[in-house]
Every structure is written in structure tokens, then in C-alpha cells.
């Protein structure tokens, strides 16, 4: 990964997290975090990975983000001073769910 892509990843992660936590209206008790952002080396595409708690609300949260994507990108472009904003796609990150399953399997094996 290029230095510029990793710097853009960090910047996008910070700014999108701020926008989502302050501007996105979700049901009470639903929390969204951005654990990572992956930008292509040509800086044209970025995948924003979204983690949702509780996991059973993931579908609702991702639909809400998809519905508000235009507003999110508009606010993001106002905050950033970069030549061109990459095409951003939001991807559900189920890493924590998979880790919990693996941890449960290990725990069951130890019994």
C-alpha cells in the first residue's frame, strides 16, 4: 500500500466516523464504528468497513447508511481539502462476530 493511500485511509476513517456518530440518526442502542478503511493505490476507490453493535441490527444500520450516503459524502467533501474524493462504498465488517464464534469454539474445546 502506498503512503498516500494509507494517509487517506486514516483521514477518511476519522472524518467518516465523526460524520456517522454526529449526523446519522439511528435507533436507540445501535452503535456504528469504522474499524478500517481500504483505499486502492490509485486513490480512486475506498472501502469503508462498518461495524455495528448489536450485530442483529446490521441490516438496519447498513440500509440507513445507504439511504444517507449522498448526505454523508456531501459533508465529507466539505470537510476534506483533497483534489478528488474517491468513490466510497460502505461494507459491513463482521470480523468481531467471526472472532466471537472462534473464541466460543476454543472455549468449548477446552472443556
Position 11 scores a pLDDT of 95
Q: What is the domain range of residue 77? A: 3-110
Q: How many CB atoms lie within 10 A of CB 40?
A: 14
pTM: 0.85
Give the count of domains, the chain.
Answer: 1
Position 28 scores a pLDDT of 92
Output the tens digit of pLDDT for each of the chain's 111 residues.
688 899 999 999 999 999 999 988 899 999 999 999 999 999 999 999 999 999 899 999 999 999 999 999 999 999 988 888 999 999 999 887 787 788 888 888 876
Q: Are 20 and 66 in contact (CB under 8 A)?
A: no
Position 111 scores a pLDDT of 63
Position 32 scores a pLDDT of 93
Please name the residues in contact with 71: beta carbons below 8 A apart, sequence gap of 6 or more.
23
Q: What is the CATH number of the domain that holds 71?
A: 3.30.300.20
Residue reference for cell 453493535: 53
Amino acid at each position: 500500500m502506498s503512503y498516500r493511500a494509507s494517509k487517506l485511509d486514516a483521514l477518511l476513517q476519522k472524518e467518516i466516523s465523526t460524520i456517522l456518530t454526529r449526523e446519522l440518526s439511528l435507533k436507540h442502542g445501535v452503535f456504528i464504528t469504522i474499524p478500517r478503511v481500504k483505499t486502492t493505490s490509485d486513490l480512486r476507490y475506498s472501502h469503508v468497513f462498518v461495524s455495528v453493535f448489536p450485530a442483529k441490527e446490521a441490516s438496519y444500520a447498513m440500509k440507513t447508511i445507504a439511504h444517507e450516503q449522498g448526505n454523508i459524502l456531501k459533508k465529507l467533501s466539505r470537510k476534506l481539502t483533497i483534489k478528488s474524493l474517491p468513490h466510497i462504498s460502505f461494507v459491513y465488517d463482521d470480523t468481531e462476530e467471526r472472532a466471537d464464534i472462534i473464541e466460543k469454539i476454543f472455549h468449548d474445546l477446552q472443556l
